[in-house]
C-alpha cells in the first residue's frame, strides 16, 4: 500500500466545433469524482479547459445571463473530414499557453490524470488535451471517461491517446481504479454508496475559479427509452435523491457561495412527482430564498399538472424547457410515446396559468431526423407559437446505442460508423437532399417570436 497521499489531476477538455456556448454546461460527473476522491483522502487538482473565468481571460465571463455565457474561442484548422462544411471551426476554451502554464505550475507530476468527455464528435478536443498533458507529464497514466468514452469505447481506445478508457458511471468505479494505479486504499468508505445519491458528497464546484451557477442532480437515469436518446444506456438505473438532501445542498451553495442560479440536470424530474418533485419544490419555497431554477434538459409534458406548475413558479423556476420534439403527433410513435396533443395543451395551460411568460416556456423541437421533411419542422414551430410559447429547435445528433442509430446510418449522407466526427448536429448529418444552409436560416427565423 502506498503511504503518501496520491495527487490526482482532473481535467475538463477543450471543445473543437463550429459553435459552442455555455448553456449551463459543467462536467458534473468529473466534479462528483473529484469530491469523492477528496473525501476519501486523495489530493485533488482540477483544470477546466472551458473556464470562462480564467484570470487571464479578457472577458472573465462578463457577458452572462443567469450564469450562461460565451466561451473564449480560437479559430483552428477544420478537420479534413468536414471540409465540405462552409463554416469556421474553433477551439473553445482557454488558450493553449494558459493550459500549459497551469500544468507546469502544479507542485509536481500528478500520480494519475483523469479526463472526462462529452459529445462524441468533440473527441478532437479530447485528443489535443491529452496530447498537451502528455508533453508535460510523459510518464503519468492518463485515464479517459465520460460520454464519448462510454458510447464509442473502441474509437476512444484507438484514437484518444489515453492509457485507459473507462466506460459507464465513474462514481462507483473510481476508488478501485485509483487504487489500482496508485496503490492507495482509503481506510473508510465515509458512508459513500454509489447507488445512494444521498450519500454523495457535493460536486467539487469550489475547485472552479468562480461558481456562476450550480447544476443539481435530484435523480439519475430515466424510466423512458426514447429512440433518439442514450440516457437509458448511459445510466440504466433510475434512482432518486431525498427531498431533504436536495434542499440541504441548495442551502449550502446559496449560504456559503451566494449562488442564485440552479440548473436541474435531471432527465425525469417530474416522474413520480408526489414522492419526488413536489416535496422538493415545497422545500425550496419554505426556505424563503429568492433563487432561480432552470431546466435545460427539459421536463416531461405528460407529468405537468396545475399543482406542479404552481409550485415551480413559486419556487423561482425561471427557464422552463418542455420535451415536445415534434408537433406532428400522429406520426411520433417511432420516436417516443411521451406526449399527446391534449397533454401538451394542458401543460402549457397549467404553466401559463401559474404565471410563466412566453419567453420563459420553451418547447424543444427536433430537426434533422432521418427522413424528416422540413415542412414538418415548420408546422411544429407554428403549432408551438400558436400556444404562445417559444419554439426551441434542437438539431438531431445521431447517437450510438440508441434505437434510431441504425436508421440514422441508413439515411445519413456521411458514414457515421466510420468516425464520430460525422455525428455533429451542426452539420445536420441526417437531413435529406432538400437540405441547404438556407434551410437552417429559414427555421431559425421561423422560430423567432
Domains 7-182 and 213-447 share a fold: no
Residue tagged 445536420 (cell numbers): 428
Q: At 286, give phi and psi (nearest 5°).
A: -65, -30
**Torsion sign (Cα): 265, 268, 272, 277:** positive
Query: Is the domain defined by 213-447 classed in CATH 3.20.20.70?
Result: yes
pLDDT band at 335 (very low <50, low <70, confident <90, very high): low
Q: Which of 435, 446, 443 is nearest to 85 (CA)?
A: 435
Q: What is the pLDDT of residues 47-80, one digit of tens each?
A: 999 999 999 987 655 567 899 999 999 999 999 9
343 burial (CB, 10 Å; 0-12 / 13-18 / 19+) is middle
User: Region 376-396: what's the mean pLDDT?
Assistant: 94
Q: Which residue has the higher pLDDT, 132 or 232?
A: 132
Query: Across all residues in the chain, what is the average pLDDT?
Result: 93
Q: Is the confidence at residue 125, as pLDDT, over 80?
A: yes
User: How does pLDDT run across 254-303, given as a tens digit for each residue?
Assistant: 999 999 999 999 989 999 999 999 999 999 999 999 999 999 999 999 99
pLDDT above 70: residue 219: yes
The predicted pLDDT at position 9 comes to: 98
* Average pLDDT of the residues in 426-448: 84
pLDDT at 118 over 80: yes
Residue 190 reports pLDDT greater than 60:
yes
* Cβ–Cβ under 8 Å, residues 405 and 120: no
What homologous superfamily is domain 7-182 in, according to CATH? Cobalamin-binding domain (3.40.50.280)
Give pLDDT, residue 1: 42
Instruction: Give the pLDDT score at 2.
Output: 43
Q: Indicate the pTM of the whole model.
A: 0.94
Whole-Å CA distances, 280 to 155, 244, 313, 350: 41, 8, 13, 19
Domain positions in the chain are: 7-182, 213-447
Residues 238, 235, 204, 176, Cα dihedral to 10°? 110
Give the chain's length. Answer: 449
- Cα–Cα dist 113/141, whole Å: 6
Amino acid at each position: 500500500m502506498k503511504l503518501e497521499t496520491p495527487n490526482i489531476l482532473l481535467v475538463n477538455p477543450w471543445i473543437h466545433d463550429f459553435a459552442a456556448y455555455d448553456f449551463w454546461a459543467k462536467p458534473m460527473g468529473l466534479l462528483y469524482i473529484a469530491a469523492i476522491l477528496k473525501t476519501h483522502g486523495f489530493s485533488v487538482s482540477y483544470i477546466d479547459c472551458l473556464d470562462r473565468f480564467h484570470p487571464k481571460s479578457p472577458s472573465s465571463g462578463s457577458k452572462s445571463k443567469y450564469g450562461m455565457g460565451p466561451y473564449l474561442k480560437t479559430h483552428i484548422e477544420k478537420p479534413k473530414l468536414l471540409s465540405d462544411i462552409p463554416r469556421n471551426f474553433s477551439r473553445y476554451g482557454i488558450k493553449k499557453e494558459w493550459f500549459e502554464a497551469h500544468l507546469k505550475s502544479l507542485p509536481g507530476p500528478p500520480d494519475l490524470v483523469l479526463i472526462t468527455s462529452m459529445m462524441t464528435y468533440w473527441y478532437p478536443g479530447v485528443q489535443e488535451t491529452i496530447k498537451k498533458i502528455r508533453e508535460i507529464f510523459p510518464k503519468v497514466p492518463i485515464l479517459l471517461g465520460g460520454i464519448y468514452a462510454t458510447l464509442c469505447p473502441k474509437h476512444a481506445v484507438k484514437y484518444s491517446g489515453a492509457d485507459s478508457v473507462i466506460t459507464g458511471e465513474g462514481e462507483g468505479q473510481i476508488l478501485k481504479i485509483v487504487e489500482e494505479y496508485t496503490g492507495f486504499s482509503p481506510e473508510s468508505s465515509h458512508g459513500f454508496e454509489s447507488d445512494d445519491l444521498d450519500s454523495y458528497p457535493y460536486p467539487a464546484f469550489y475547485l472552479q475559479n468562480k461558481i456562476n451557477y450550480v447544476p443539481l442532480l435530484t435523480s439519475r437515469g430515466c424510466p423512458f427509452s426514447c429512440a433518439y436518446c442514450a440516457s437509458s444506456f448511459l445510466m440504466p438505473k433510475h434512482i432518486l435523491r431525498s427531498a431533504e438532501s436536495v434542499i440541504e445542498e441548495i442551502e449550502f451553495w446559496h449560504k456559503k457561495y451566494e449562488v442564485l442560479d440552479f440548473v436541474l440536470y435531471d432527465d425525469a424530474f417530474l416522474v413520480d412527482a408526489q414522492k419526488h418533485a413536489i416535496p422538493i419544490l415545497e422545500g425550496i419555497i419554505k426556505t424563503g430564498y429568492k433563487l432561480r431554477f432552470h431546466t435545460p434538459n427539459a421536463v416531461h409534458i405528460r407529468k405537468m399538472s396545475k399543482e406542479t406548475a404552481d409550485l415551480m413558479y413559486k419556487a423561482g423556476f425561471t427557464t422552463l424547457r418542455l420535451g415536445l420534439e415534434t408537433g406532428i403527433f400522429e406520426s411520433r410513435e417511432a420516436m417516443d410515446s411521451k406526449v399527446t396533443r391534449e397533454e401538451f395543451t394542458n401543460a402549457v395551460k397549467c404553466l401559463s396559468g401559474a404565471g410563466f411568460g412566453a419567453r420563459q416556456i420553451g418547447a424543444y423541437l427536433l430537426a434533422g431526423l432521418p427522413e424528416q421533411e422540413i415542412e414538418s419542422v415548420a408546422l411544429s414551430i407554428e403549432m408551438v407559437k400558436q400556444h404562445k410559447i417559444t419554439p426551441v429547435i434542437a438539431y438531431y445528433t445521431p447517437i450510438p446505442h440508441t434505437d434510431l442509430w441504425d436508421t440514422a446510418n441508413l439515411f445519413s449522407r456521411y458514414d457515421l460508423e466510420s468516425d464520430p466526427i460525422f455525428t455533429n448536429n451542426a452539420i445536420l448529418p441526417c437531413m435529406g437532399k432538400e437540405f441547404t444552409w438556407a434551410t437552417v436560416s429559414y427555421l431559425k427565423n421561423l422560430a423567432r417570436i
